[in-house]
Amino acid sequence: MKLAIMGSGGVGGYFGGRLAAKGYDVTFIARGRHLDAIRRDGLRIESANGDVHIHPAKATDTPADIGPVDYVFFTTKLWDTDLGGEAIRPLMNADSAVISLQNGIDAEERLTMILGREHVMGGVAQIASVIAAPGVIRHTGTMARIVLGELDGSRTTRAESLLAALHDAGIDAEIVDNIVIAIWQKFVFLVALSGVTSVARQPLGPLQKDPDTRALLATIMEETVAVARAKGIDIDPAYVNDRLVFLDKLPANMTSSMHQDLQRGNRLELDWLSGAVVRMGKEVGIDTPANAFIYVALKLSAIEKQTSGSTQNSENDAKFD
């Protein structure tokens, strides 16, 4: 089994590193200082689930140098989806599968347009992880899970083979019959967590305890569920209460990738999170004032980060992604 990790930050670096440590043929696609460190010193994972050091590690900034692979974990930032999708064309053979573990809701559609539907599977990553230093992935807590599935709901050999490899590497993973709903469920939660942590400049702990910010989290999720249902995605409205209970089980210092990007001066995924909810809401006739508030409150910061040319953008930091 041959794999490539397109965007070897907190998400891709962790899961790809676990597979590489188990002996699977994994090539990390990265850029800048992170790539230089992986080439020189290997890739380190610091985790309560066990530290690993992959050295030497296979790494490149040129996907075409790898040749065809069986699987690509696609974990770039959302604004790089189209460019990254074009870059991985040389990795495709007849049976290759690309699994997006990104934030957002439209990565599968965009990758399908570039690579063809036969090459795209759906995926969801549940992990808190970050590039702590070039070549070093730090995993917070113990949650590290992948949910995957074919977009048409079929149970295929390639999905089963990947699931077996993930389990072999000690990764919690499952195949679901409706990956589209799973992707939307993550989106509902992540839009709220990203928006409120970023606007408040606070980790999850204070937001859980304050009744106003807790209510804002709930309202953002309710709006996003309403948009999903209007688009034909059958998410139970009770899912919001389920996520509020889930929030209470998370560490108080948990935050979102967008909050961390805001603090570090990186570009924000705002347009693909709260901004996307607002746009879709207008299309289907659903009011989304809470998401609109998040979007307007952070919009100028997002524009500033986009035009500042931060060198940290390429390293694909990720927290609860």
Mean of the per-residue pLDDT values of the chain: 92
pLDDT tens-digit series, residues 244-286: 999 898 888 888 889 988 988 888 999 999 999 999 999 999 9
Top-confidence residue, 318 or 61: 61
Q: Are 311 and 32 in contact (CB under 8 A)?
A: yes
pLDDT band at 319 (very low <50, low <70, confident <90, very high): very low
pLDDT tens-digit series, residues 61-90: 999 999 999 999 999 999 999 999 999 999
For the chain, what percent of residues have pLDDT higher than 70? 94
Q: Are 3 and 16 in contact (CB under 8 A)?
A: yes
Predicted local confidence at residue 1, as pLDDT = 96
Closest by Cα among 173, 191, 195 to 105:
191
Q: Cα–Cα distances in Å, from 229 out to 109, 223, 280, 301?
A: 18, 10, 11, 31
Tell me, what DSSP letter sits at residue 122?
A: E
pLDDT band at 105 (very low <50, low <70, confident <90, very high): very high
Residue 56 has pLDDT above 50, yes or no: yes
φ/ψ (deg, to 5) at 25:
-80, 100
pLDDT tens-digit series, residues 298-313: 998 877 666 554 433 3
- Maximum average pLDDT range among 43-52, 139-148, 241-250: 43-52
C-alpha dihedral over 9, 15, 19, 25, to 10 degrees?
A: -40
Predicted local confidence at residue 212, as pLDDT = 97
Overall average pLDDT of the 173-178 stretch: 97
Overall average pLDDT of the 106-123 stretch: 96
**pTM exceeds 0.85:** yes
pLDDT tens-digit series, residues 211-242: 999 999 999 999 999 999 999 999 999 999 99
Q: Which residues contact 296 (CB under 8 A, 6 or more apart)?
A: none
Predicted local confidence at residue 311, as pLDDT = 37
Residue 114 has pLDDT above 50, yes or no: yes
Q: Which residues contact 259 (CB under 8 A, 6 or more apart)?
A: 194, 197, 198, 201, 203, 319
pLDDT band at 25 (very low <50, low <70, confident <90, very high): very high
Predicted local confidence at residue 143, as pLDDT = 87
Domains of the chain: 2-177 (3.40.50.720), 182-315 (1.10.1040.10)
Predicted local confidence at residue 142, as pLDDT = 84
Q: Is the dihedral of CA 71, 161, 167, 50 positive or negative?
A: negative
Q: Chain centroid to CA 157: how far?
A: 24
Predicted local confidence at residue 313, as pLDDT = 37
Predicted local confidence at residue 305, as pLDDT = 60
Residue 149 has pLDDT above 80, yes or no: yes
Q: At what angle do helices 211-230 and 179-200 cross, to 10 degrees?
A: 150
pLDDT tens-digit series, residues 192-214: 999 999 999 999 999 999 999 99
Residue 277: count other Cβ atoms within 10 Å of its Cβ: 29
Predicted local confidence at residue 306, as pLDDT = 62
